[in-house]
A and B are shown apart, each in its own frame.
Chain A
């Protein structure tokens, strides 16, 4: 890694950590969401440094552009107010600490994995070009890619079913009529 990309990485990593930290400690959910957007953007920058522009763009488009917009939309729509800091609760603080240490251990192990194993020969070498990703998606991974559409369809149905105003069954109205 050249010094330039090291510096770029450090800046992006600091921004990402700052965003994540403020996301947790902000007292207002909207602020948290905006810090999360900052975190996503910094993460996308790190992906760019890893010569994976496609993933970086997808990160921006999907997380910052779609999911967070939805989050913010709902928060503002419901006018969610100030929340108590989850770290205020003493018991939760310990639980959070333990969870954080465990997750940290997992991430450390993931990081230590770097260089520990050699990737198989058929894995894509960087830079990950979008054409190659397309070939793999529609070739090797055609089946899961197509089935993912069913998954999304099911999720969409769920949104419609749950959001739809409840219709009353015929038997109910009949019963009511009979009672009258």
Chain B
């Protein structure tokens, strides 16, 4: 029994320094793995990562090209089942989707919540989770397991089908957004993509993102309505109003860098920016606050967490949900925090580009895993910023929220768009 109830550590409070140390340590670990692989392959420069087999390339080589070489012949009607044709991309897509959700989204969200609790704890002079595992590191995985095994309650008077479908309507768009995020470099040799760390290199990536994110609102109002509970319906109304309102300034903030870059393709965005002085954040200095405020509102983070204001109301649209379905809403919410940070990094802060010029040697490397390192470093910093705001500011009132959205953010977004367009013309 003693193991189940470990003693409270006497000096449970962790310092900002140790947190920073943890983050730096993680980044160093990633860099070390990359460097280790680099040395292992005994190739004298980062060129190996530019040319060599990545995971995507591996899949392509071993699952598509190699089997295709077995059966060169015509399969007739069943040609679509041949490797590299029709069905294979579909299967690959379904597989990679599963991988994205369970292999990336779930762990990422789990530890994002852990980080949130630790950071909030630190900033509010508390300790955060300390008990389960070292530094409480196993606390959130345990929470996930708990939610997974919890009884799934459906209220008697709920609209069963809509109640069942609503969490998926929120989670699916959230997971679909990963399709266009460039996690790292894309190498094209002789016109063919050798490897690429973006799942779907869509030409209309930014549009795709804004379209996909606008669909999730349907899930949220459906959830609130299907619960057949006036509090959840009220919460859903508030959430929907907030999401619909702040979608406009968010889209305007997305448009400004699009106007500057002249492309909607996120890989292109990242590839065009170069080192720190080439990042698009400089002409878009006004875009950054607009983006951050709208993103906070879209995520329902404090100071805009009116819909679930836990110290004032019952939870919000998800009040009747329990178990895995409840977890799915949270999964989507924190996943969106990652997505929005990643989009901000890709559009404004150079994506996977190293902030240092290439002439600086290893610091300037941004191919393959080095690109991933820079991408994740920047995205995590952005998420940290969001958490910081969350810990600092008090909650707004609903009328202030709506007033800010319609009367201030949207005009500001339009003005900013105009400003960036004028700058673009002036710079040429």
Contact = CB atoms under 8 A, between A and B. Distances in A.
Interface stretch (B119-127, B128-136, B200-208, B368-376): B200-208
A28 B85 CA distance: 42
A160 B310 CA distance: 34
Contacts of A64: 214-215, 218
A15 interface: no
A97 interface: no
Nearest to A73: B240
A140 interface: no
Interface in B52-78: 77
A64 B86 CA distance: 27
Interface in B186-242: 202-204, 207-208, 210-212, 214-215, 217-218, 221-222, 224-225, 233, 236-237, 240-241
Interface string A2-38: 1111010000000000000000000010110010010
Interface residues of A, number: 27
Interface in A77-125: 77
B408 interface: no
Residue in A58, A60, A65 with the greatest tally of chain B CB atoms within 10 Å: A65
Contact of A57 (B161, B204, B236, B241): B204
Contact of A69 (B203, B210, B212, B218): B218
B221 A73 contact: yes
B80 A69 contact: no
A65 B244 CA distance: 9
B137 interface: no
A129 B203 contact: yes
A4 B237 contact: no
B269 to A, nearest CB: 14
Contact of A30 (B208, B214, B225): B225
A2 B78 CA distance: 11
Contacts of A2: 79-80, 85-86
Contacts of B214: 60-61, 64-66, 69
B268 to A, nearest CB: 12
A58 B85 CA distance: 28
A72 interface: yes
Given A34-B162, A53-B204, A129-B203, 18 more contacts: A2-B85, A4-B90, A7-B80, A7-B86, A30-B222, A34-B165, A34-B218, A37-B215, A57-B207, A61-B207, A64-B214, A65-B215, A69-B244, A73-B244, A76-B224, A76-B225, A76-B237, A130-B264
Closest 4 CB pairs of A and B: A4-B86, A65-B214, A61-B211, A4-B80
29 contacts: A3-B80, A3-B86, A4-B80, A4-B87, A4-B90, A7-B80, A30-B159, A30-B222, A30-B225, A34-B162, A37-B218, A57-B204, A57-B207, A57-B211, A60-B212, A61-B211, A61-B214, A64-B218, A65-B217, A69-B217, A69-B244, A73-B221, A73-B237, A73-B240, A73-B244, A76-B224, A76-B236, A76-B237, A129-B203
Interface of A: 2-5, 7, 28, 30-31, 34, 37, 53-54, 57-58, 60-61, 64-66, 68-69, 72-73, 76-77, 129-130
